[in-house]
Copies of this chain bind each other. A is one copy, B any other.
Amino acid sequence: MTDTQTIADGTNSNVVVSVDAMGGDKGPGVIIAGLLRAVHTHSNIRFLVHGPQAVLAPLIDKHNLEEFCTIVHAERTVSMDDKPSQVMRHGKGTSMWSAVTSVKQKEADACVSCGNTGALMAISMVRLRKLAGINRPAIAILWPSFGPNGSNVMLDVGADVRADESDLLQFALMGASYSRNGFAVKRPRVGLLNVGTEEHKGRAELKAAHDLIKESAESGQFEFVGFVEGGDIPSDRVDVIVTDGFTGNVALKTAEGTASFIGTALRQSFKHNLLAKLSAILAYGPLSRLKRTTDPRRVNGGVFLGLNGTVVKSHGAADATGVAAAVGLAYRLGSAKFSTKLAARVASVNGFAEDREEDGN
């Protein structure tokens, strides 16, 4: 492991991404194929690839990735059905546990897994621990949008949690920092998800959070646009959308369901009769362009915020393109030293408030 440590220590400019090669629905072949794509884009990327040596070595060999990859042998795999509580206690020896541990031991700058979300969060909590001052870590995702980056940040989408006003404030500050470091948005526009944009609307904790976030905008180096609605999530009004994990998770899955509904209807309408089939051939260009704009694989990668280290959760069903997108995100955050900057911001007086470094966390 000495070589890799040298790399991660920053003694040269390589960025090391720790990869759980076993968690995805499509197996390790797709994940290694994703690494190949990432190497084409980022020549100074290096990988610690976690999983059974006997499975991974031939795949890495096949793609001629030996000089980019170091295999870290891990015999066991976390399955999609494993309970987070079980994995937390008995997960040692799995590729997921091993991949997160490389970040803890500072051998890697960030970690990527396509595995079980609950298990990955549980292992990350146990191994990396919450940042001091953070009550609830959050999962931030990228949402295809009309904004300048082609995607907005939304958090939390972590499902089970109910967030109070101080949690929502922390989400706003972490989301702004993520937007700044991951996507070079100098002064992110932050919105709080609600059922109307009027200040009197919504639940009590949302009104309290509205005021807290508003007060912190100046010191947190972001712009607060106030309440936003579901329809604003893909808009250019906002860069970061803040909500509790339950609402965020429902919104995300509803949007995926809607996109899939429209996609299916589109395919059916182009198969309706011979003329329709013919026009589908001629419309190949525009339809491919549509797919590129709205393709969720393009923006694959949920980031766990609020831990001592950067963990990127890729979609379980990601293909090589999706894996490359998640790995690219981990690379970008690793290069930006996001984890260190976020920790510094959190550690600063008044929960971020007094931190005004020139470069911005």
For residue A126, give the distance in angstroms from its CB to the closest CB of chain B: 20
Q: How large is the interface on A (under 10, 10 to 19, 20 to 34, 35 or more residues)?
A: 35 or more
Can you list 7 contacts pairing A with B, beta carbon distance less than 8 Å? A233-B254, A234-B257, A235-B257, A250-B250, A261-B294, A276-B289, A279-B284
Give every chain B residue within 8 A of A280 (Cβ-Cβ): 283, 286
> In the complex, what residue of chain B is closest to A252 when comparing beta carbons?
B230
Give every chain B residue within 8 A of A258 (Cβ-Cβ): 234, 254-255, 258-259
Whole-angstrom CA separation of A282 from B146 in the bound complex: 27
A287 at interface, CB cutoff 8 A: yes
Instruction: Please list the residues of chain A having a beta carbon within 8 angstroms of any beta carbon in chain B.
Output: 144-146, 159-160, 162, 193, 195-196, 201-203, 229-235, 243, 245-247, 249-262, 264-266, 268-270, 272-273, 275-276, 278-280, 282-287, 289-290, 293-294
Cross-chain contact A289 with B272 (CB below 8 angstroms): yes
User: Known contacts A232-B257, A253-B230, A294-B262: does B276 contact A279 (CB below 8 Å)?
Assistant: no
Whole-angstrom CA separation of A264 from B145 in the bound complex: 11
Closest 9 CB pairs of A and B: A230-B253, A230-B254, A231-B257, A269-B289, A159-B195, A269-B286, A279-B283, A279-B282, A234-B261
Whole-angstrom CA separation of A20 from B155 in the bound complex: 41
- Which of B196, B250, B260, B293 touches A269 (beta carbons < 8 Å)? B293
Give every chain B residue within 8 A of A278 (Cβ-Cβ): 282
User: Known contacts A201-B159, A202-B160, A272-B286: does B253 contact A146 (CB below 8 Å)?
Assistant: no
User: Known contacts A270-B283, A272-B286, A276-B285: does B230 contact A261 (CB below 8 Å)?
Assistant: no
Give every chain B residue within 8 A of A275 (Cβ-Cβ): 285
Cross-chain contact A269 with B257 (CB below 8 angstroms): no
Whole-angstrom CA separation of A250 from B193 in the bound complex: 8
Cross-chain contact B265 with A294 (CB below 8 angstroms): yes
Give every chain B residue within 8 A of A203 (Cβ-Cβ): 162, 246
Whole-angstrom CA separation of A280 from B230 in the bound complex: 30
User: Known contacts A285-B276, A289-B269: does B257 contact A230 (CB below 8 Å)?
Assistant: yes
Give every chain B residue within 8 A of A289 (Cβ-Cβ): 268-269, 272, 276
Give every chain B residue within 8 A of A270 (Cβ-Cβ): 283, 286
Whole-angstrom CA separation of A113 from B208 in the bound complex: 34
